[in-house]
Chains A and B, each alone.
Chain A
Amino acid sequence: MSKKNKETEVVKHHLIQRRKPNRSIGGDLAIYIFLILVGIAMVFPLVYAINAALKPLDELFMFPPKVFARNPTLDNFADLFVNMSKSTVTFSRYVFNTVFMTAAGTAGHLLIASMGAFVLAKYEFPGGQTFFKMVTVALMFSGYVTQIPNYLIINKLGWIDTYWAVVIPAFAFPMGFFLMKQFMEGLPSSLIEAAKIDGASEWRVFTQIVMPNVKPAWLTMIIYSVQALWNNPQSTFIFSEEKKTLVYALNQIQSGGIARTGQAQAVLIIVIAVPITIFMFSESQILETMASSGLKD
């Protein structure tokens, strides 16, 4: 009896050893083919956009159009800086505005939201859970709902047409706060207690123990904050041309008609390159953070 038992054990063990017993080769093949087709469809606009930015003017208007550039050049990019240096607001100014607002908003968001997330994740105090519930409710409506009253509030603060109108509200971005708090909950409490026994103050615990251990969540916060700030034309709060953003310039150039087609393609690439590049380099950390992104009841 024991021998037979052992035999079945071995058979079962063998079944488990093959990683996926419930998979057919045909099914796997069908999935791969499907994924490749969908992947090509998904990536086509991106490939096309990159190539269009590298095309010299005559190729841009060639008919029938070709996807890949034959004589790739960087003329379109150079045009952006050279041609637009004659306009009242140079292209580099738009770049500076966007970079400054994105960097300042993201840095503040990272610090302020992490501080709040830390105490919510690691301590219990009256009102804490209620506050977190409110943040999750804020995830449920998009920023458009609050745009009009936000405008009125910022108007009252006198921030209209300053960088602050964009930078300060970005600190309160709920998505980053939510993800950071969820991720910090996974941090072992013994780490914090050990530091406390050694006599570290809360601020020290936060800056020297907690923050270095949640680097994946930083990157996630950064990518979402950058995505929100970088891609927003911000034209509701900012009126003066010299404070407008890159995406605003992109919209202007795109509506500038056929003569600026090449430039429009080049700006588009500059605009999309930043979030995609950040994502590519931080992908594994972001996925690590997203593993704790779940909403529990």
Chain B
Amino acid sequence: MTQTVLQAKNLVRDYHVGGGLLTKARTVHAVKGVSFSVEKGKTLAIVGESGCGKSTLARIITLIDPATSGDLLIDGNKVDIAHSALTPEMRRKVQIVFQNPYGSLNPRQKIGDVLGEPLKINTDIPAAERRDRAMAMLKKVGLAPEHYNRYPHMFSGGQRQRIAIARALMLNPSLLVLDEPVSALDLSVQAQVLNLLADLQDEFQLTYVFISHDLSVVRYIADDVMVMYFGEAVEYGSRDAVFSDPKHSYTRTLFAATPRADVESIKARLAKKKAA
């Protein structure tokens, strides 16, 4: 049984810049007609360098900003936040985890309140049950119930990212947008968080849109890969197809630029250095 959770058709996002007294208004095309779809329980990785429009796309998918044109379907329902108000049901379906674990948690909110807030706003679950659910979620992401009453600054970057993931899962979303979730983390912590994401995906049949610039992480976690370059999707296909046979020259440049940490490459480099 396959079920398409997210489908995007020809998404476009333009920004209008300037238009002040002295400057002429310009239009910047941040996303230029991108289409893709993700099935339930799968991971789509969106790869690209800074300024390629991947974060803009993330904000559109997460229903934070509207698309200028194009259709966005979540669980088969068309969503258009530019023209109609977002219903709480749709709001619950998509959640996001940000890159910077230090900026994404409110410094004045206890962890318990961070986790309880989505339930408090969107449901009329009583306080006691909110608390129970938050406790259960803390355990699920590898933290302990005694963390419930602490403030974000008492946690390390990796733990904060676990909290951010827990908050995103409180509303039982069907789609989770992960905007560079491990880029700011140390290597060993990165491995733990990636494992956690994989465990949660198995358990809840979650669908991920994983935005990253790190190809080795993408190769590890993704089912499908989309490469973006200046607002366009230059390459889109299954992970194996993209990694084994990149079609677009930019994808090849990207692969060539990624530092390789295997013994053969080191040997080759040292040999070349000796020869020079």
Bound pair (A, B): no
